[in-house]
């Protein structure tokens, strides 16, 4: 209390302009300090998860259950959004390339954009919104109900039993769902191009993979794995560190979807930049 009183007196003794400057600096630097603090804690948490995953035992039954939950929660939204994106891409693409009489390249451009960029990014965003928030809410509820502490009392590592299976589930299911999303995205583009816009079946299929090599496919798969790990880390971190009861659980779910989407977008830029240089 003495220190606080001294600080208040010191600020009160400062000129109004100087006090305003200190408050402005504090307002500008506090978000950065908070961000770096959370980033450091998340890094330490990631190391703890890595140790839990690569040291036995691994709770396979819990891992399979988490994978099933991720699939059930995200399969329909991922397929729906990528089918719509494929249909829109074909419609917009034909409107442009028909100006140059290059209808035959539509399927190749569609496959390239879906496999490399659209499917990994949009599928991961949907997974963050659906499965990520569900995992954060589930772990947060366990924390509030003191189930996490009860595991520790029973000599069971909570990170190994609760967090590691869900991290593995997201890192595994993201590329699997990405493959399905890519297939349905190209199917949507095929339906629009052939059945609605009059492109011949042979032209679309013959050029589908004409300019797509394995590097494009590997790029999409690598991105989806990285995105899955990021979403899993963010969801588990916020869920595991919930405080404040039901309100804290809601805040953890909200932070998961917002920070998960931002992390996917930022990581996508750096991964794209790195992979373009690596594959040239």
Mean pLDDT in order along the chain per 10 residues (280 residues): 46 59 70 83 91 88 93 93 92 83 82 90 93 92 87 85 93 94 93 86 80 83 94 93 86 91 93 83
pTM, entire model: 0.85
What is the C-alpha to C-alpha distance for residues 204 and 208, in angstroms, rounded to an integer?
A: 6
- What per-residue confidence (pLDDT) applies to 8? 45
Per-residue pLDDT, 2: 44
- Cα 237–chain centre separation: 14
Write down the pLDDT at residue 125.
Answer: 93
Residue among 231, 236, 225 nearest 257 (CA): 231
Q: What is the DSSP letter of 105?
A: G
- Alpha-carbon span 276 to 216, nearest angstrom: 10
CA angle, corner 275, sides to 211 and 266, nearest 5? 120
pLDDT of residue 18: 63
Per-residue pLDDT at 15: 61
Dump strand ranges (E) for the chain. Answer: none
Residue among 185, 163, 36, 31 nearest 109 (CA)? 185
What pLDDT sits at residue 131?
A: 92
């Amino acid at each position: 209390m003495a220190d606080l009183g001294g600080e208040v007196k010191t600020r009160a003794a400062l000129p109004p302009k100087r006090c305003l400057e200190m408050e402005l600096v504090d307002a500008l630097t506090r978000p950065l300090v908070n961000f770096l603090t959370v980033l450091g804690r998340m890094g330490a948490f990631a190391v703890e998860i890595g140790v839990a995953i690569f040291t036995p035992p691994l709770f396979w039954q819990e891992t399979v259950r988490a994978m099933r939950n991720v699939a059930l929660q995200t399969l329909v939204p991922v397929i729906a959004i990528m089918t719509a994106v494929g249909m829109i891409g074909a419609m917009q693409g034909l409107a442009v390339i028909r100006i140059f009489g290059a209808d035959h390249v539509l399927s190749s451009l569609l496959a390239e954009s879906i496999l490399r960029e659209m499917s990994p990014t949009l599928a991961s965003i949907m997974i963050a919104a659906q499965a990520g928030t569900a995992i954060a809410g589930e772990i947060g509820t366990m924390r509030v109900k003191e189930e996490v502490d009860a595991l520790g009392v029973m000599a069971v590592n909570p990170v190994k039993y609760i967090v590691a299976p869900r991290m593995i589930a997201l890192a595994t299911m993201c590329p699997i769902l990405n493959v399905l999303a890519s297939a349905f995205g190209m199917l949507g583009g095929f339906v629009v191009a052939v059945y609605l816009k009059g492109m011949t079946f042979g032209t679309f299929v013959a050029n589908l993979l004409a300019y797509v090599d394995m590097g494009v496919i590997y790029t999409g798969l690598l991105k989806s794995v990285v995105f899955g790990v990021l979403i899993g880390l963010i969801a588990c971190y916020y869920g595991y560190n919930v405080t404040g009861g039901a309100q804290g659980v809601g805040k953890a779910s909200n932070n998961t979807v917002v920070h998960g989407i931002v992390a996917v977008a930022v990581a996508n830029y750096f991964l794209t930049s790195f992979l373009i240089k690596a594959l040239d």
